[in-house]
Chains A and B, each alone.
Chain A
Amino acid sequence: MRNRYGNEVRGLAFVSPWLLGFLVLTLYPILATLYFSFTEYRVLTPPRWVGLRNYQDLFTDHDYFLPSLYNTIFMFLELPVATLLSVGIAILLNQKLRGMAFFRTLFYLPSVVPTVASAILWLWLLNPEYGLVNRTLDLLRLPRSEWLQSPLWSKPAFIVMDLWMVGGGIVIYLAALQGVPQHLQEAAELDGASAWKRMWSVTIPAISPVIFYNLVLGVIGTFQYFTPAFLMTGNPPGGPANSTLFYGLYLFQNAFAYFRMGYACAMAWVLFVLTLLASWVVFRSSARWVYYEGER
Chain B
Amino acid sequence: MWSGEEEQAFRRVLERYQQLHPNVSIKNLGAIRDDTKAIRAIVAGAPPDLFTLSDPLYLGAIAAQGGLEPLDELFAQSGLRKEDFVRGSLSQASFRGKLYAMPFLVDAYALFWNKTLFREAGLDPERPPQTLEELRSAAIRLTKRDASGNLKQLGIAPVSNRSFYAGDIPLVMHLFAGELTAANEPKVTPDSSRNLRAFEWSAGLIEAMGGYTKVNAFAAGFGQPQGGDNPFFKGKLAMMINGQWNPYWAETYAPGLDYGVAPLPYPSDTPERRNATWLGGNFFCIPTGAPNRKEAWKLLAWMQTEEAQVLFADTMHGVPNIRSVLRNKKLRTGEPWRYHYGKFFDLVENGVPGHFPPLPVSALYNNSLLDAYDMVLDGKKPASQALKHVRERVQNELDRYP
Contact = CB atoms under 8 A, between A and B. Distances in A.
Interface residues of A, number: 31
A45 interface: yes
B213 A146 contact: yes
B17 interface: no
Nearest to B389: A63
A242 B377 CA distance: 12
Contacts of A236: 162, 367, 370
Q: Is the interface of B mostly helix, strand, loop or mixed?
A: helix
A256 B220 CA distance: 26
B220 A241 contact: no
A237 B364 CA distance: 13
Nearest to A128: B217
A145 to B, nearest CB: 9
B220 A127 contact: yes
Contacts of B364: 257-258
Interface string B366-388: 01001100110110100000000
Interface string A127-141: 111100000000000
A81 B306 CA distance: 64
Interface in B351-402: 360-361, 363-364, 367, 370-371, 374-375, 377-378, 380, 389, 393, 397, 400
A151 B213 CA distance: 8
Given A236-B162, A239-B374, A240-B378, A42 B61 contact: yes
A149 interface: yes
A256 B364 CA distance: 11
Contacts, number: 87
B378 A241 contact: yes
Interface string B120-164: 000000000000000000000000000000100000000001110
A45 B61 contact: no
Contact of A128 (B221, B360, B397, B400): B221
B162 A235 contact: yes
Interface in A148-182: 148-151
B91 interface: no
A287 interface: no
Interface string A111-144: 0000000000000000111100000000000000
Which residue, A233, A241, A256, has most C-beta atoms of chain B within 10 A? Answer: A241
A234 interface: yes
B286 to A, nearest CB: 15
B50 to A, nearest CB: 17
A43 interface: yes
A235 B393 CA distance: 21
